[in-house]
Amino acid sequence: MKTPAILSVLGEDRVGIVAAISNALAEASVNIEDIRQTIISGIFSMTMLVTVDEEKTPFEEVQSRLDTVAQDLGMQITLQREDVFRYMHRI
Amino acid sequence: MRFEPDEVVETLTMVMQQSLDIRTVTMGLSLSCCADPDLDVVARNIYDRVTTAAERLVPTAEALEREYGIPIVNKRISVTPIAQLASSVNAYDVSALALALDRAAKEVGVDFIGGFSALVQKGTTDGDVKLMASIPSALASTQRVCASVNVASTRAGINMDAVLTMAEAIKQTAELTAENDSIGAAKLVVFANMVEDNPFMAGAIHGPGEASEVINVGISGPGVVRAVVSSLPDDADLTTVAEAIKTTSFKITRAGELVAGEASRRLGVQMGIVDLSLAPTPAEGDSVAEILEAIGVGMAGGPGSTAALALLNDAVKKGGAMGTSSIGGLSGAFIPVSEDAGMIRAAEQGALTIEKLEAMTAVCSVGLDMIAVPGDTTVETLVGIIADECAIGVVNSKTTASRIIPAVGKSVGDRVSYGGLLGEAPVMPVNQYAGTVFARRGGRLPAPLQSLRN
């Protein structure tokens, strides 16, 4: 089952954020569909639209791996199924 | 991108800073298959039925929390009113059935199980009599069981004999649980126009018109609404305020609709309803009182509170009605005192009185809720308070309820404290002029005309 999801990242800017997250996603067979990234006053903010291949890596496992990356980077990383945003922000 | 970063951030902020959550995922279960003349057999049947049907409820709700990133605060179960099973049992004390419900609730890991209940608005059966007599001991000997009795309806009027019975049951329950601030009374609610698909406690039941098993969801989000209203300038007019609440309510309801649908699909159970009630918690900011204050009332309970609450309640429904096609349950703002930090403050300051709360219940859901009164409050006074609340519901064709805690050994100015979602509350003063005659007349207060509405 391929599950669309939104990955959001927030925290102090530093070298290697995108690389660390992209690597973790690639290892979990998560495909990146779209990326938006900005830095405002030194705060790094990134939103990714991704597709989780749950046959290869279950959703919970991807979340768990991203938690580890978040701890290593000292940033806040959240992975949520995309439907919650579709339900709340689209009529 | 399909979503703007602003939209993603808005949802994250709602959850992380404004206490957005799904208040409850409640599984409704019919227990009609559990009937038997032998009390022990019924108790065993109930335990088996609940533990089998609800086995996957909590793990499924926890998985949804993780995947959607929205907390589901409570997982609960509502069951067929136990009075229906009590009627066929060869025993007068049916509190053993509450113990079976309690054990089953603990086994499957739910917070509360509701349905130790009876509907007696027009008259009482043997089963109803047994159930009402068993309520005090049932609530004193269990942790997770909630009891409710419907004593009035718009079509039947108010069963004043049942109101007296329930006032006595409230007093006895409070006395039996006196060591814990009379907590038993916090799990007992007396209704007018009870609904059959309410996911919220203490009044949840699984009505006779329901399917064998359903999933009902109660949304929440006072913190989100308060934040949105607070962000408006002081000179924003009330139409603008209502519009902002409507928009927010739509988003909150959509989260509930999503969770209800997905929980139903995963559990293989019919989706019941989404309850649009704004339910506060004791957490700072997650308060209906603070929404009224953000709208512009000086303090909850002050002049303007009833009008502001009417605006809030209506706007929440209008926004929510577009968010789901399965509206049900109570669907209105809750104004419990002990569960809302702003209400507690207002009661302590003297801004909020029982009489003002009563007026506010005419325009919102659900009634005099989680109000601590002095332990020496008389049965006749409780009858009067409950009857007044019922009259508001009966005449206005809406649900009203009373969940009043006569805190044994406490008087005005003392506090009761339960922790968790039940919160804490100051003991509020009660009008001393109930008299003794009205409560003891009994009989049925006739159903009101549905025309000539002024």
**The pLDDT of residue B5:** 82
Q: Judge if B35 and B101 occupy the same domain.
A: yes
Which of B192, B227, B244 delimits the end of a domain?
B192
Q: Do the domain assignments include residue B278?
A: yes
Please tell me the total count of domains within chain B.
Answer: 2
Q: Judge if B109 and B151 occupy the same domain.
A: yes
**The pLDDT of residue A91:** 81
Q: Judge if B173 and B105 occupy the same domain.
A: yes
Q: Judge if B62 and B180 occupy the same domain.
A: yes
The domain that contains B236 carries what CATH number?
Answer: 3.20.70.20
Q: Report chain B residues touching chain A, CB-CB < 8 A.
A: 1-3, 5, 7-12, 63, 66-70, 251, 254-255, 257-258, 322
Chain B residues within 8 A of A8 when measuring between CB atoms: 8-9, 12
Q: How far is CA B1 from CA A25, A81, B264, B284, B377, in A?
A: 19, 15, 30, 35, 62
Q: How many helices (H) and strands (E) does chain B have?
A: 15, 13
Which domains, and CATH codes, for chain A?
2-89 (3.30.70.260)
Are B1 and A47 an interchain contact pair (Cβ–Cβ within 8 Å)? yes
Q: Judge if B188 and B221 occupy the same domain.
A: no
Q: Do the domain assignments include residue B23?
A: no
**The pLDDT of residue B452:** 84
**The pLDDT of residue B392:** 97
Are A47 and B5 an interchain contact pair (Cβ–Cβ within 8 Å)? yes
Which of B158, B192, B226 delimits the end of a domain?
B192
Please identify which residue in the block is written with the tokens 């609709």.
B257
Out of B5, B9, B257, whose CB is closest to A87? B257
ipTM score of complex: 0.86
Q: Nearest chain A residue to B257 by CA: give it.
A: A87
Q: Nearest chain A residue to B8 by CA: give it.
A: A85
Q: Judge if B187 and B223 occupy the same domain.
A: no
Q: Judge if B227 and B131 occupy the same domain.
A: no
Q: Do the domain assignments include residue B15?
A: no
* pLDDT by 10s per residue, chain A, length 91: 899 999 999 999 999 999 999 999 999 999 999 999 988 888 899 999 999 999 999 999 999 999 999 999 999 999 999 999 999 998 8
Q: Judge if B303 and B245 occupy the same domain.
A: yes
Q: Judge if B326 and B376 occupy the same domain.
A: yes
Q: Do the domain assignments include residue B18?
A: no
Q: Do the domain assignments include residue B201?
A: no
Both tokens assigned to A29: 């067979």
Domain containing B354 equals 217-441
Chain mean position to CA B36: 30
Q: Judge if B329 and B407 occupy the same domain.
A: yes
Q: Judge if B263 and B135 occupy the same domain.
A: no
Q: Do the domain assignments include residue B450?
A: no
**The pLDDT of residue B348:** 95
Q: Judge if B239 and B183 occupy the same domain.
A: no
* pLDDT by 10s per residue, chain B, length 454: 788 888 888 888 888 888 888 999 999 999 999 999 999 999 999 999 999 999 999 999 999 999 999 999 999 999 999 999 999 999 999 999 999 999 999 999 999 999 999 999 999 999 999 999 999 999 999 999 999 999 999 999 999 999 999 999 999 999 999 999 999 999 999 999 999 999 999 999 999 999 999 999 998 889 999 999 999 999 999 999 999 999 999 999 999 999 999 999 999 999 999 998 888 988 888 999 999 999 999 999 999 999 999 999 999 999 999 999 999 999 988 999 999 999 999 999 999 999 999 999 999 988 999 999 999 999 999 999 999 999 999 999 999 999 999 999 999 999 999 988 889 999 999 999 999 999 999 999 999 998 887 8
Chain mean position to CA B281: 13
Tell me which residues of chain A, numbers 31 to 90, contact chain B at a CB-CB cutoff of 8 Å.
34, 36, 38, 45, 47, 49, 59-60, 63, 78-89
Both tokens assigned to B39: 């009390």
Please identify which residue in the block is written with the tokens 């064998």.
B212
